[in-house]
Chains A and B, each alone.
Chain A
Amino acid sequence: MSTMFALLKIEGKLVWKGIDILIFGICFPIILAVLFGYLLSKEASSGSSNFELSYAAVITIGVLATGVMGLPLTIADYRHRGILKRFQVTPVSPLQLLFAQGLIQLSSALVSFVGVTLVYYLFFDYRLAGSWFMFLSVYAFVIVAMYSIGIFIGSVVPDQKAANMWSSVAYFTMLLFSGATIPYEVMPRFVQLIMDILPLSHGIHLLKMVTTGEAMAGMAVPMLILGICTVISLVGAFKFFKWK
């Protein structure tokens, strides 16, 4: 326990001293929240307005930036510079290191979540239509799925270049093509078909349902897809984890 605490404290300080986490994890989603608040229509012709739907999307951006980008890049950087190799000849387990880095990144995703939520609530009178309990449970599930993907990328990439490439591919495709920034609904049909492959599309779909308080009947398939994605990523990460 004291090992975990010390890792969290020291590694947390190091990560938070970096500027990336602040820009991509926190500022970007909050700025987007403000923009959406001004730009998107708050009129609901049928069901929920575009603005109301956008909340589910914007709260995933911080998760994406920290889990799919920040996390694998930190791990790959430590591997590249031989820092993981030094940890390899100590009693610490890869699980402890990954878990600590994950929690640190998560701390900024949560700051981003609170920031975005405050912007929606205080400036634009947004109100969650569904139950908070359901919403937070689904949100936690989506976070776990996204972080698993990041942990998988960070665990298996051979070098810094590959880490940059794969985390950028995962980050930008999901940022643009899963409805996190550009809504799923406005995309042409063939793009929507591609979007259906991306795990985050299903995450955002789920979040839209629970934030608007829609029927829960359609949740099984997206849940299953995210669950499978999480299991495959985590098993792959621990099986193929590379120290150097």
Chain B
Amino acid sequence: MVLKVENLSVTYGQKTAVDRISFQVKPGHVFGLLGANGAGKSSTIAAVLGIEKSTHDELGIVGKSPVRNRKEVFQQVGVQFQETNFQDKLTVSEACRQWQALYRKSADLPALLQTFGLAGKEKQLVKLLSGGERQRLAVLLALIPEPKLVFLDELTTGLDTKARRMLWKQLLTMKENGLAIVLTSHYMDEVEALCDEILILREGQTVFHGTIQEALIASEKTTLEDAYLLFAGEGEHWE
């Protein structure tokens, strides 16, 4: 297991944002964390990364605690946050080289830039990139350490169809090579294209955990989107 989470809870004051959720991710598997805005996806990711306080029976990334063994764990883990800000006046190549310098291992940078459609933009200021380009740069940076596990929070929000397809293809290739992925997404086509297993959150509670096939059967719906809406409670106001 690259990631093991057992009964993890996050509370903010009186409010329970994430309530005793458990899941595991194997090498080469893609795990999707789904739910409406505010359902607790980002809190879960922050807690799993050890940057948000949580209670848990077990929390291990590559077999170690991200809190106690921060330095070792993050040699092998890449993270793309929902919102990625960069230093003012930072260029694309500086952003990449700075990230490379933080790790012992580093992926082939020119190849990554090519794959993510950023070749030829190395000299450009990050803040002058388009939203989609900046998003791709954030995902690229997460892949720089050649991680065993990568967290992608809303990875294709703001990308056009072609760029999304390109990114999926790239991630699937890396998955074939053993990369484990934890992602959040609001797009069910993306979830269907990438995820082996999903967990749907509703107000911090696990309302479904299993494969996409199992979600369809359990919900008696024909599409994942309908199944998702049923579980996440998002369809209620419309029906």
Contacts and interface: CB of A to CB of B under 8 A. Distances in A.
A6 B103 CA distance: 11
B98 A78 contact: no
Q: Identify whether the interface residues of B are mostly helix, strand, loop, or mixed.
A: loop
Contacts of B57: none
A83 B85 CA distance: 6
Contacts of B88: 14, 18
Interface string A1-39: 011011100110110011000000000000000000000
Contact of A91 (B49, B87, B98, B102): B102
Nearest to A3: B101
A86 B81 contact: yes
Interface in B89-122: 89-90, 94, 97-103
Given A17-B89, A82-B85, A244-B51, A90 B74 contact: yes
B62 to A, nearest CB: 13
Contacts of A86: 79, 81, 84-85
Contacts of B85: 81-83, 86
A78 B49 contact: no
A92 B71 CA distance: 7
Contacts of A120: none
Interface of B: 49, 51, 70-72, 74-75, 77, 79, 81, 83-90, 94, 97-103
A45 interface: no
Given A10-B98, A17-B89, A82-B85, A93 B71 contact: yes
Contact of B90 (A14, A88, A90): A14
B89 A14 contact: yes
B94 A10 contact: yes
Contacts of B99: 90
Given A6-B100, A6-B101, A91-B74, 17 more contacts: A2-B101, A10-B90, A10-B97, A14-B87, A14-B90, A18-B89, A78-B87, A83-B85, A86-B79, A87-B102, A90-B74, A90-B102, A90-B103, A91-B102, A93-B71, A243-B51, A244-B51
A88 B86 contact: no
A116 B74 CA distance: 45
Given A3-B102, A13-B94, A88 B87 contact: no
A93 B94 CA distance: 20
A88 B103 contact: no
Given A10-B97, A89-B51, A83 B86 contact: yes
A229 B8 CA distance: 41
A232 to B, nearest CB: 26
A89 B97 contact: no
Give the most central of A7, A14, A85, A89: most B CB within 10 Å.
A89
Contacts of B86: 83
B81 A6 contact: no
Contacts of B79: 86, 89
A78 B101 CA distance: 19
Contacts of A91: 70-72, 74-75, 102-103
B140 to A, nearest CB: 13
Given A17-B89, A78-B87, A82-B85, A92 B102 contact: yes
A2 B49 CA distance: 25
Interface string A44-85: 000000000000000000000000000000000010011101
A92 B88 CA distance: 20
Contacts of A3: 101-102
A89 B84 CA distance: 13
9 contacts: A6-B101, A7-B101, A11-B87, A13-B94, A14-B87, A85-B81, A91-B71, A91-B74, A91-B75
Given A14-B88, A83-B86, A244-B51, A89 B74 contact: yes
